[in-house]
A and B are shown apart, each in its own frame.
Chain A
């Protein structure tokens, strides 16, 4: 591309541009990932330090029912959060895309999203507490008060709340690119609204739907903060287990094995996504 440059200059330019960032990714992304893999085969020492012997014991332990249950719970949160986000987010994306003031509506969608994540979870803690607004509202009808949290429902609600914009934005992007003439063609051919939507509109939004699902599913499965605050020990997800191993329990080796499991799961879902979406799929996620 750059005919004027000598090979020496070219190497220098690559070193200057790619060198620092590449070195950073090597030191702080690749190396730590390999360390997690290594640690997952080690053992917990008497003082919580990592030590020998090497073995597969952490993985064997992760397969025990208690831990599998946490995995199942995480999966459940991921799937439910994705479904609910779709239910709330899919029609909203259409509404925004077809609204004359869509810039403003997008801005209003992003505003709570850019508010600190912890504050958004905390808000639900405030609403759902015993003396909270939800109970006060229900109390006006003579209902309750209910203990809304800790519960699976509370965790799910806050999860959907925090990740919903992740779903709306990619769907919005595909609705914006929609070819509405196909819809008219479907009507011309005598299709009723529902059939027309099913065949002329829905398939065009598949890329956005898939991207949104991945963007909600992965963080919903992997978070520990929401379950920590709104599940309060009652709802234990895989993220909570990992955090516990690196906190109170100090069994880093077992925590590392759980992380490898979680990563395997994330990579599997990304692989499936890439299979459906083709090569460009991953690039469109960002």
Chain B
């Protein structure tokens, strides 16, 4: 029984890694088409780095990810704090709204934002679809995830610690800065990391909210793939896989250190 379980696990891991490893191998393959390995080459990487558009798309992706992660982490942390600490009018509605971006399929999220921007442009003349609208869209789904992650961390904290800070004379903001925030920090960091990953991975929301000049790497991959399989995309994919491995390994190392 145990051996059967091991075999099953082995096969599933093969299933998970096989396709990705094939892409990595093909990115070094001289042959343009097919899977026959005709020789090792770095030509596809060279072609990738010599394409100025790819650098532009990379910078767009990075700009969107960093700006949206920063904004969503700040707003989400504050929102989580307010929702855990205070009672206020409309809290129930807010709780439902937080779940919407989590459960709604991306297509629906994408078109609803597109409609919002279109209506707003009709009425107020802005915003034009651009990198800005992509960022607004990303913040929207990231905000929900950050808030939920930070909130679950805050719910674990002992309220006595904040009371002690106040008894010792700390004012609201001081308590937040010196007591609450450091204690909630792992949750905030986890939320930010999740937000960053979601932004880097997102294709659908970007697809609907991007205008001319706002092409990101996923959009570029999509349009190249629509034209057919290409070794340049293999090379780009390999780089992205490598980068995510590094990021995840860092996160993994950090999480182990804390224990």
Interface residues of A (CB under 8 A from B): 1-2, 4-5, 9-10, 13-14, 16-18, 20-22, 24-26, 28-33, 35-36, 39, 88-89, 91-92, 94-96, 103, 105, 107-112, 114-120, 122-127, 129, 131-133, 136, 161, 164, 193, 218-219, 221-225, 229, 239, 242-243, 246, 252, 255-256, 259, 262-263, 266, 270, 282, 285-286
Candidates B8, B116, B143, B226; contact of A32 at CB < 8 Å: B116
Contact call B244/A111, Cβ cutoff below 8 A: yes
- A87→B94 CA distance, assembly (Å): 37
Apart from A114-B247, A126-B234, 12 more pairs, CB < 8 Å: A21-B147, A24-B139, A29-B140, A112-B16, A118-B222, A127-B19, A131-B35, A132-B35, A161-B15, A243-B107, A246-B208, A263-B104
C-alpha spacing A191/B4, complex, angstroms: 21
For the complex, what is the distance from the CA of A129 to the CA of B172, rounded to whole Å?
62
Give the CA-CA distance A107 to B107 in the complex, in Å: 29
- Residue contact B97 to A30, C-beta cutoff 8 Å: yes
A244 CB to closest chain B CB, in angstroms? Answer: 11
Return 6 A-B CB contacts under 8 Å, by A number: A22-B79, A29-B144, A88-B15, A89-B12, A109-B13, A239-B105
Q: Which 3 A-B pairs have the closest CB atoms?
A: A222-B105, A17-B82, A21-B79
A50 vs chain B, min Cβ distance (A): 8
**Chain A residues with Cβ under 8 A from B119's Cβ?**
35
Given the complex of chains A and B, what is the CA–CA distance between A105 and B15 in angstroms? 14
Q: Find out whether the CB atom of A115 lies under 8 angstroms from the CB atom of B12.
A: no
Is B159 an interface residue, CB under 8 A from the partner? yes
B148 at the interface (CB under 8 A from A): yes
* A186 vs B219: C-alpha distance when bound (angstroms): 54
Is B113 in contact with chain A by the CB < 8 A criterion? yes
A248 vs chain B, min Cβ distance (A): 13
B residues near A17, Cβ cutoff 8 Å: 78-79, 81-82, 85-86
Question: Contact check: which of A14, A25, A256 meets B98 at CB < 8 Å?
Answer: A25
Complex partner residue of B103 from A36, A223, A259, A270, CB under 8 angstroms: A270
Q: Which residues of A contact B33 (CB under 8 A)?
A: 131
Alpha-carbon separation in the docked complex, A120 to B222 (Å) = 12
| Complex-state Cα separation, A116 to B19, whole angstroms | 13
B115: contacting residue among A16, A32, A270, CB under 8 A: A32
Q: Which residues of A contact B148 (CB under 8 A)?
A: 286
* Contact between B88 and A18, CB atoms less than 8 A apart: yes
